[in-house]
Amino acid sequence: MRLVVGLGNPGPKYEGNRHNVGFMAVDEIVRRHSFSAWRSRFQGLVSEGDCAGEKVLILKPATFMNESGRAVGEAMRFFKLQPADVTVIYDELDLAPTKVKMKQGGGNGGHNGLKSIDAHIGVDYWRLRIGIGHPGDKSRVIGHVLSDFAKVEQPEFQRLLEGISDRFDLLAAGKASDFMSKLAMDLKPAAAEKKPVKTDPPVVTPPAVKAEPTSEQQGGLAAQMKRWLSGDAKKN
């Protein structure tokens, strides 16, 4: 069995926050894979389903971010799981927006949700980090993570969440490397269509036009013809 945890803060006030991108990701997985309806359990909301031959439990802690470990620890102990059976999806300040990285174990990077989970189950669980970018100034971090995605950001983040969901079978099967490589291919920008090279139309040289003799030239020719006819030409 695999336990997949999306991190965020509960309640409509926080729904669109960057800090809630973990919730958004698991919501998309549940929707696109037709998992069970959400129900209250383990100090959070859970949804269950099967994917890639694996039983999967999706968990959204309802304890607020800095107490997420309570819900994760309770669910893990109930099903007698090991940390390696757990995947946590969360927002990452130190990654550019929509960039994704995955690893097992490691530090918490100052993320309050991870700090709590570390305290309850240790550090050897899997982490799927979704980049939300850094505001550039430490004093602006809280406002940044607790603000909604800008409209211009939303299409790319939605595309990312759909990509994660589309490749979730690999994640459920524990094939982290395959999951990341397939996701990267899915999200690779489409190559720009080659535009036809505009060329100038060929230059067509019009046929030479024989110039008509001028009136003065016509008069001279007429006089010469007259001399020929009168026999004057022979004298010349």
Q: What does the alpha-carbon distance between residue 146 and residue 53 come to, in Å, rounded to a whole number?
A: 37
Domain count for the chain: 1
Query: Is position 156 within any domain?
Result: yes
Token pair 């965020």 in the structure block, residue: 8
Query: Is position 42 within any domain?
Result: yes
CA of residue 134 relative to chain centroid, distance: 18
Query: Is position 18 within any domain?
Result: yes
Q: What does the alpha-carbon distance between residue 8 and residue 28 come to, in Å, rounded to a whole number?
A: 14
pLDDT of 215 above 80: no
pLDDT of 97 above 90: yes
In our burial notation (b when 16+ CB lie closer than 10 A, e otherwise), range 203-222 reads eeeeeeeeeeeeeeeeeeee
Q: Once rounded to an integer, what is the mean pLDDT over residues 119-126?
A: 97
Q: What is the pLDDT of residue 231?
A: 56
Q: What is the pLDDT of residue 108?
A: 93
Q: Once rounded to an integer, what is the mean pLDDT over residues 66-72?
A: 97
| Range of the structural domain that residue 138 is part of | 2-187
Compute the C-alpha angle 183/188/194, nearest 5°.
Answer: 155
Higher pLDDT, 145 or 228: 145
Query: Is position 211 within any domain?
Result: no
Query: Is position 198 within any domain?
Result: no
> Using alpha carbons only, how large is the chain's radius of gyration in Å?
38
Query: Is position 227 within any domain?
Result: no
In our burial notation (b when 16+ CB lie closer than 10 A, e otherwise), range 67-102 reads bbbbbbbbbbeeeebebebbbbbbbbbebebbebeb
Task: Give 8-30 pLDDT, tens digit per residue.
Answer: 999 999 999 999 999 999 999 99
Query: Is position 92 within any domain?
Result: yes
Of 87-91, 136-140, 230-234, minimum mean pLDDT range = 230-234
Q: What is the pLDDT of residue 188?
A: 86
Q: What is the amino acid identity at position 138?
A: K
Query: Is position 170 within any domain?
Result: yes
Q: What is the pLDDT of residue 199?
A: 62
State the catalytic residues: 19
Q: What does the alpha-carbon distance between residue 18 and residue 24 come to, in Å, rounded to a whole number?
A: 10
Q: Phi and psi at residue 54, in whole multiples of 5°?
A: -115, 140
Alpha helices in the chain (DSSP H): 21-32, 68-78, 112-121, 141-145, 154-166, 168-172, 176-187, 215-230, 232-235
Which band of pLDDT confidence, cut at 50, 70 and 90, is reported for residue 189?
Answer: confident
Q: What is the pLDDT of residue 236?
A: 45
Q: What is the pLDDT of residue 191?
A: 46
CATH number at residue 76: 3.40.50.1470
Confirm if 89 and 25 have CB atoms less than 8 A apart: yes
Which band of pLDDT confidence, cut at 50, 70 and 90, is reported for residue 200?
Answer: low
Query: Contacts from 173-178 at CB under 8 Å and sequence distance 24+?
Result: 173/51, 173/52, 173/53, 173/54, 174/2, 174/54, 176/102, 176/104, 176/126
pLDDT of 235 above 50: no
